Structure 1
Amino acid sequence: MDTDDSFSSDNLLDGTIASLIERRNSSHPSVIVIGAGISGLAAARILHDASFEVVVLESRDRLGGRIHTDYSFGCPVDMGASWLHGVCNENPLAPLIRCLGLTLYRTSGDNSVLYDHDLESYALFDKHGHKVPQQMVAEVGETFEKILKKTEQVRDEHTSDMSVLQAISLVLDRHPELRQGGLAYEVLQWYICRMEAWFAADADMISLKCWDQEHVLTGGHGLMVQGYDPVIKALAKDIDVRLNQRVTKVSNLCNKVTVTVEEGRNFIADAVVITVPIGILKANLIQFEPKLPEWKLSAISGLGVGNENKIALRFDTVFWPNVELIGVVAPTSYACGYFLNLHKATGYPILVYMAAGRFAYDLEKLSDKSAADFVMLQLKKMFPDATEPVQYLVSHWGTDPNSLGCYSYDIVGMPEDLYERLRAPVGNYFFAGEAVSMDHQGSVHGAYSAGVMAAENCQRYLLERLGSLEKIQMVSLRSEILEATFPLRISRM
């Protein structure tokens, strides 16, 4: 499918036409997959195992996309996705995780108010470093659940959508007994901060209509102890993946797809599966010829893209308590903090600070050292004997040109049919990625399922279309190829 050589003027007729005739008459349809994240690799795996010719084009110099297991600390640290949301047999990733013998560290059961953590193993501190009484944390957590429950009534009363934060404000106006003051108010802000981390967006950006409509799998949430990298490597085994291939254009002519990468090389196939992050599509970094239909473009523009970043710190010694999470409460959710204690889950002396929404973008304005220094200031207030980290890692998902955000979320006023339009194919263009997942947007298993679905739809489409072409006589096939060859070559200009 790589046509870089066959498009040179010397061998245009001998190379391009002969190779196209061979492909069109073979029993192996060809597909290009754009993106080597878990969705793209899942699609490629399905198609490869079905004996399709598959090439995966990836803009990064590594596999995984928004999954990135870093080993520079001497152990696996996931700087992107790190949880399996739904530790149950119904999770589509469960068979693969079981087969690979990977270990999960469960951080919550079902219905946790903190989503990926239970209130069983934690320590919260105020901005002066004083520990917050656990009874207060539990009581405010119960109040927060009551507030969220009452936002359902607000939703039922209003035909138009509003933000979750606006709904919370209306609930507190109606029910002053639910308002919190002093330190309890700061704890409530920390709960809101954790909610914002789930969506990777601030509460004033999250849709009240949609925020709790996600179908969450049972079994709670489990941290991938060995990281997600083994899953990525297993899916990519024997797949033809081309790294450092940034796609700039996707064009369609005579039922063939031409994909152009940054340095001008072209790849031709019968179909394409597009799995790039929604942030890349929203930024129009890939040119489509002809342009995508308006119903598809409006779906892309109508979805939110959130941001969450991690600052991982490795220490020589453990100076913090043996709890799963360490939190910092503050007068605003923006100023609250959250540390994941990897030492409890994995045995390595590592803390991971996580920030979402606007704060995640603001962190990216700092140098990596300044970001690490900022985190250390918080740690030293809580733990005066804190030592300096021997290493640190900082993610930049919001400004990373390969992602432009971490995952999608439902914005205020989002149309009900948006996801149907997002996942719908356009001719022989098929779309995957976490953003187009049926019910599990923003999750690894959602991205995986979307890749599988896109591959199955692509496979069905090509077998139906190419199966009927077998009845066409060879002479007419040659004529079609001759007519298609030269326009494809011009598209490189």
Structure 2
Amino acid sequence: MDPKDPLSADLFDGSVLSHIERQQNVCPSVIVIGGGISGIAAARILHDASFKVVLLESRDRLGGRIHTDYSFGCPVDMGASWLHGVCNENPLAPLIRRLGLTLYRTSGDDSVLYDHDLESFALFDMDGRQVPQKMVVEVGDTFKKILKGTEKVRIENSDDMSVCQAISVVMDRHPELRQKGLAHEVLQWYICRMEAWFAADADVISLKNWDQEHVLSGGHGLMVQGYDPIIKALAKDIDVHLNHRVTKILYGSNKVMVTIEDGRNFIADAAIITVPHGILKASLIEFEPQLPEWKVAAISDLGVGNENKIALRFEKVFWPNVELLGIVAPNSYGCGYFLNLHKVTGHPVLIYMAAGRFAYDLESLTDDAAVNFVMLQLKKMMSDATEPVQYLVSRWGTDVNSLGCYALDLVGKPGDIYERLRAPLGNLFFGGEAVSMDHQGSVHGAYSAGVMAAENCQRHLLQKLGNLETLQHAYFRDEVLEGTVPIQISRM
């Protein structure tokens, strides 16, 4: 700390604390760092509990990896777009109902594609020939058997391994599950779709943990109006400061001082950190005192996946009236798929999605080059494909505000990693999807993590003030629901 700065380290030892307290309001104050849905949820709860809350966000917008773009004339989510778990148990259900938002249901609970059923799809080979539907279904059944076989491999091995390694073991044991020719390429496409769920390649996904996530019931649905209305509703009346990149956090038993890029300081009784896990892994925020070794190790041991989208708007629809268009290849890296947003919005829009190493490789290209690559694939599938009139390209892996998409269980990670990630340090609390209880990588998981961090922070500060009985409950949590989350658009 600058010795000329009047807010020196003595502040946290209490020598000038009384001076600071005289300038503070009686109500507790909290700085929320990060304006994704986790940070906004935390700020919402504390604001509604009459805390003094300031939210600092490095971007020029709120939402974090929720980013609904409207330039196509319809909402296009370039980050999170699905509600995983279309049920009243989803913590976002009350807000979705209150806002009257609609969902387009893409799958039930037992989909082999994780967020899509095999009800509305068309797969093509590299020469543009459509794969017979019967083959796709049969290979899907084989894929389920392979994944089932990996469970036995996990039980037999005390040491962790990658999902890719486990699949190889199953194939060696059961050669009848091996596929040849076109069927092999279809199997690779299924693996590609599995990798998309984790935003990582199968050779880095932990066998021990890959299927341990608690996925809520009700299947999966696309947010027809996008996620932006939820962000706006949660952020209403919050004291938000955009373009405020935090570079340093000085924390102690009494106060927290947060320094932003231009050198300005914010002081509060506590802080909640909800920045993306990639930011913490890259050590872009300095902590004083330094984070303890157990916290640093937890941050290091948890991976971050990457998934990107290339949104294409055309003059008119030239593709089949299906939800999902895919291209198969000899390996999962070469496979690809398009989400048909025309089914959801009525606008001629396709979304190409890429995950893992392929997502990073696309980020190495210019926007034009990335679009040209995707269009080559599309033209192989449909010879009458026209050029897009507009496009959008995400770059979450290299975006300095995110450095990736969501948490990834790496091979051999410790079993208590999430407990250590979410554990507070005095008056410093941690949110974000990476610390979610059983729902990492989901919007509702990030929301719940923000709720949890806010409630813990609130309890901590009120206990210090001796007012614990005034503890208020989470935003929307106590509302009694009737019926189900609205699914007002069915499959066409």
TM-score by length of 1: 0.91
Alpha-carbon shift at residue 242 of structure 1 (Å): 0.1
Secondary structure, aligned partner of 2:466? helix
Secondary structure, aligned partner of 2:312? strand
User: In structure 2, what is the equivalent of residue 196 of structure 1?
Assistant: 195
Alpha-carbon shift at residue 189 of structure 1 (Å): 0.2
Question: What's the RMSD between the two structures over aligned residues?
Answer: 1.7
1:299-448 to structure 2, matched below 5 A, reads 299-448=298-447
8 A Cα contact 2:74 2:345, kept in partner: no
User: In structure 1, what is the equivalent of residue 101 of structure 2?
Assistant: 102
> In the aligned structure 1, how far is the partner of 2:276 from the partner of 2:240?
18
> In the aligned structure 2, how far is the partner of 1:113 from the partner of 1:253?
48
- Comparing 202-211 and 244-253, the one that deviates more: 244-253
Alpha-carbon shift at residue 92 of structure 1 (Å): 0.2
Secondary structure, aligned partner of 1:96? helix
> In the aligned structure 1, how far is the partner of 2:19 from the partner of 2:209?
52
User: In structure 1, what is the equivalent of residue 21 of structure 2?
Assistant: 20
- How many residues are aligned here? 457
8 A Cα contact 1:278 1:408, kept in partner: yes
8 A Cα contact 2:38 2:431, kept in partner: yes
> In the aligned structure 2, how far is the partner of 1:339 from the partner of 1:17?
60
User: In structure 2, what is the equivalent of residue 152 of structure 1?
Assistant: 151
Secondary structure, aligned partner of 1:81? coil
Secondary structure, aligned partner of 1:54? strand
Point out where structure 2 has 5 or more consecutive residues left out of the alignment: 8-15, 469-492
Point out where structure 1 has 5 or more consecutive residues left out of the alignment: 8-14, 470-493
> In the aligned structure 1, how far is the partner of 2:253 from the partner of 2:325?
58
> In the aligned structure 1, how far is the partner of 2:195 from the partner of 2:460?
39
1:111-122 to structure 2, matched below 5 A, reads 111-122=110-121
**1:381-406: CA deviation from partner (whole Å, max 9, x where unpaired):** 11111111000000000000000001
Q: What percent of counterpart residues are identical?
A: 79
> In the aligned structure 2, how far is the partner of 1:251 from the partner of 1:19?
15
Alpha-carbon shift at residue 20 of structure 1 (Å): 3.1
> In the aligned structure 1, how far is the partner of 2:363 from the partner of 2:183?
30
Alpha-carbon shift at residue 357 of structure 1 (Å): 0.1
**1:107-141: CA deviation from partner (whole Å, max 9, x where unpaired):** 00001110000000000000111000000000000
1:129 is the counterpart of 2:143? no
Alpha-carbon shift at residue 413 of structure 1 (Å): 0.2
> In the aligned structure 1, how far is the partner of 2:97 from the partner of 2:263?
42
1:196-345 to structure 2, matched below 5 A, reads 196-253=195-252, 255-345=254-344
Residue identity opposite 2:82 in structure 1 = W
Alpha-carbon shift at residue 18 of structure 1 (Å): 5.9
> In the aligned structure 1, how far is the partner of 2:117 from the partner of 2:171?
25
8 A Cα contact 2:102 2:225, kept in partner: yes
**1:204-252: CA deviation from partner (whole Å, max 9, x where unpaired):** 0000000011100000000000000000000000000100000000002
Alpha-carbon shift at residue 72 of structure 1 (Å): 1.1
**1:298-352: CA deviation from partner (whole Å, max 9, x where unpaired):** 1100001000000000001000001000000000100000100000111111000
Alpha-carbon shift at residue 75 of structure 1 (Å): 1.3
Alpha-carbon shift at residue 64 of structure 1 (Å): 0.2
**1:26-59: CA deviation from partner (whole Å, max 9, x where unpaired):** 4410000000100000000000000000000000
Alpha-carbon shift at residue 17 of structure 1 (Å): 7.0
Residue identity opposite 2:244 in structure 1 = Q
User: In structure 1, what is the equivalent of residue 484 of structure 2?
Assistant: none
Larger radius of gyration: 1
8 A Cα contact 1:280 1:403, kept in partner: yes
> In the aligned structure 2, how far is the partner of 1:434 from the partner of 1:466?
30
Residue identity opposite 1:213 in structure 2 = Q
> In the aligned structure 2, how far is the partner of 1:371 from the partner of 1:300?
32
Secondary structure, aligned partner of 1:55? strand
Alpha-carbon shift at residue 6 of structure 1 (Å): 9.6
> In the aligned structure 1, how far is the partner of 2:349 from the partner of 2:19?
57
8 A Cα contact 2:253 2:426, kept in partner: no
8 A Cα contact 2:252 2:426, kept in partner: no
Secondary structure, aligned partner of 2:404? coil
Alpha-carbon shift at residue 467 of structure 1 (Å): 2.9
Secondary structure, aligned partner of 1:214? coil
User: In structure 2, what is the equivalent of residue 29 of structure 1?
Assistant: 28
> In the aligned structure 2, how far is the partner of 1:27 from the partner of 1:213?
44
> In the aligned structure 2, how far is the partner of 1:298 from the partner of 1:382?
46
User: In structure 2, what is the equivalent of residue 457 of structure 1?
Assistant: 456
8 A Cα contact 1:249 1:259, kept in partner: yes
> In the aligned structure 2, how far is the partner of 1:119 from the partner of 1:468?
54
Secondary structure, aligned partner of 1:268? strand
Residue identity opposite 1:293 in structure 2 = P
User: In structure 1, what is the equivalent of residue 64 of structure 2?
Assistant: 65
User: In structure 2, what is the equivalent of residue 182 of structure 1?
Assistant: 181
Residue identity opposite 2:225 in structure 1 = Q
**1:60-99: CA deviation from partner (whole Å, max 9, x where unpaired):** 0001001000111121100000000000000000000110
User: In structure 1, what is the equivalent of residue 478 of structure 2?
Assistant: none
User: In structure 1, what is the equivalent of residue 164 of structure 2?
Assistant: 165
1:74 is the counterpart of 2:73? yes
Q: 1:300 to 1:210 in 2, by over 3 A?
A: same
User: In structure 1, what is the equivalent of residue 476 of structure 2?
Assistant: none
Residue identity opposite 1:380 in structure 2 = K
> In the aligned structure 1, how far is the partner of 2:405 from the partner of 2:252?
33
8 A Cα contact 1:6 1:16, kept in partner: no
